[in-house]
Amino acid sequence: MKRFVGALAVASMLAMGLAACGDDDKKDDKKGDATPTQSGGAPAPRLDGTTVTVAAVWTGDEQAAFKKVLADFEKRTGAKTEFVPTGDSASTFLGQRVEGGAPPDVAFLAQPGVLQQFAQKGWIKPVAADVQQSVQANFAAQWQKLGSYQDKLYGVYYKGANKSLVWYNAKVFETAGAGEAKTWDDLLKTAGLVSDSGTPPFAIGGADGWVLTDWFENIYLSQAGPEKYDQLAKHQIPWTDPSVKAALETLAQVFGKSDWFPGGTGGALQTEFPKSVPQVFGDSPKAGMIAGADFIGTNILKDTKAKIGTDAKFFGFPAVGTGKAPVVTGGDVAVAMKDTPGSQAFLKYLASPEAAKVWAEQGGYLSPNKNLDVAAYKDEATRGIAKNLIGAGDDFRFDLSDQAPAAFGGTKGEGEWRDLQDFLRNPGDVAGAQSKLEADAAKAYTGG
């Protein structure tokens, strides 16, 4: 699993110091004798005497926010809930619980591949008919597809991440006379202006190979299109395909300019992701912008004095060639590990805009639920990120490397991570990079 913990915690931090809007009082006004409802106004089932155990990776502020979601479910249904922390290795933890005969009722998974694996082993149960109806009403078809195995829906995507953003230092851009980019060519021109002003345009945490996969995935999705992206994610086409060559050649237009990074290519390869963010937004900026996900905002607020919306701004990753602007996502999917009335009722609740609103109003959250009113988010930054995610419709795609076997797409110093680090080191060797990527992918996808 790649770095989704803390995604959009920026929203809750942005909300600090803002006056309370009184929403809690408005919700309390409805208690009275009214029947609690969920998912579009349907009466919530009564589950008095039932305990629903829910396992997830979240800690700290995220866990506290999610427990308010659990409390809302309890109020609506009369059930009791128990939160079970999984630790970072959620799949291992859950596998051990299954083997020990004590799986939780519901669990959250961060990788589509794990959902597929668990479904294949029979560790998770398909959703009930009413849950499926709620998912179909509230989520784009692509989210439904990600939550399915062999044409059966198993999961509800409750929490999302938008990984197609470019964050920039507003003062650096102003000094350079640069503006936000809509196309790849615009981005190259903007980078040139920033470079000419005396500041390297990009910070890249190349020591963490996943940063480089995100660059590739955004370019590939836009340039090659969703269908090719799906084929490459499943290794139905090889990494020697011409579409991969085109994407790597496009990527080389940035990777091939060593002076576009603080410390050159060597500096980029030695910089870990957390240290790359202050290079753009620290007191003495060493770069003008950084491509990445919504959670970069968390690092900005935690590690710099920059204020989002004034010092730090963002725009969507630009469209490449004749393609659409890409939206690459991550997310957490809820699955039933026990087929009980409590687990199915909780999944139906999670599929509702009401459940999404509970966390959205707290901050630290991004919902893939298309029927959540973006007004529920506390700040314009989060609303903009959410609109970008929902506006993609079915054209968004889940992080490609997270769909691959871990040996290829998720292991430090191996597979795609290492191969793209080698490509950053030598961006002129496109054919060599393709050959390495295909050899490593073939080995991983066949279990070799």
3-state secondary structure of 308: strand
Q: Which of 381, 398, 415 is the last residue of a domain?
A: 398
Q: Are residues 183 and 290 in the same domain?
A: yes
Q: Does 66 fall in a domain? A: yes
**Residue 271 pLDDT exceeds 50:** yes
Q: Does 37 fall in a domain? A: no
pLDDT one-digit tens code per residue, 18-61: 333 333 333 333 333 334 555 555 567 899 999 999 999 999 98
Question: The domain spanning residue 382 has which CATH number?
Answer: 3.40.190.10
Q: Does 231 fall in a domain? A: yes
pLDDT one-digit tens code per residue, 316-345: 999 999 999 999 999 999 999 999 999 999
Question: In the 8-state DSSP scheme, what is residue 319?
Answer: B
Q: Are residues 175 and 134 in the same domain?
A: no
Q: Are residues 213 and 312 in the same domain?
A: yes
Q: Are residues 136 and 243 in the same domain?
A: no
Q: Does 27 fall in a domain? A: no
Rounded to an integer, the average pLDDT of 408-417 is 93
Q: Does 23 fall in a domain? A: no
How many other C-beta atoms are found inside a 10 Å radius of the C-beta of residue 89? 12
Range of the domain at 115: 9-13+44-162+329-398
Q: Are residues 371 and 293 in the same domain?
A: no
User: Two tokens at 299?
Assistant: 């690092």
Q: Are residues 297 and 333 in the same domain?
A: no
Q: Does 29 fall in a domain? A: no
Q: Which of 380, 398, 416 is the last residue of a domain?
A: 398
**Residue 177 pLDDT exceeds 90:** yes
Q: Are residues 224 and 121 in the same domain?
A: no
Q: Are residues 297 and 441 in the same domain?
A: yes
pLDDT one-digit tens code per residue, 78-132: 999 999 999 988 999 999 999 999 999 999 999 898 999 999 999 999 999 999 9
Which ranges in 112-233 belong to alpha helices (H)?
112-121, 129-138, 141-146, 170-176, 184-196, 209-224, 226-233
pLDDT one-digit tens code per residue, 212-254: 999 999 999 999 999 999 999 999 999 999 999 999 999 999 9
Q: Are residues 265 and 309 in the same domain?
A: yes
3-state secondary structure of 11: helix
Cα-flanking dihedrals φ and ψ of residue 296, to 5°?
A: -60, -30
Q: Are residues 105 and 69 in the same domain?
A: yes
Q: Does 254 fall in a domain? A: yes
Q: Are residues 172 and 318 in the same domain?
A: yes
Distance from the Cα of residue 171 to its chain's centroid? 28
Which ranges in 317-368 belong to alpha helices (H)?
341-350, 353-360
User: Two tokens at 447?
Assistant: 């279990």
User: Two tokens at 288?
Assistant: 């003008």
Q: Are residues 361 and 428 in the same domain?
A: no
User: Two tokens at 7?
Assistant: 């995604």
* Residue pointed to by tokens 């890249």: 204
Rounded to an integer, the average pLDDT of 386-393 is 92
> pTM for the full model?
0.84
What interhelical angle do 60-77 and 353-360 show, nearest 10? 140
How many separate domains does the chain show? 2
More confident residue, 45 or 383: 383
Q: Does 30 fall in a domain? A: no
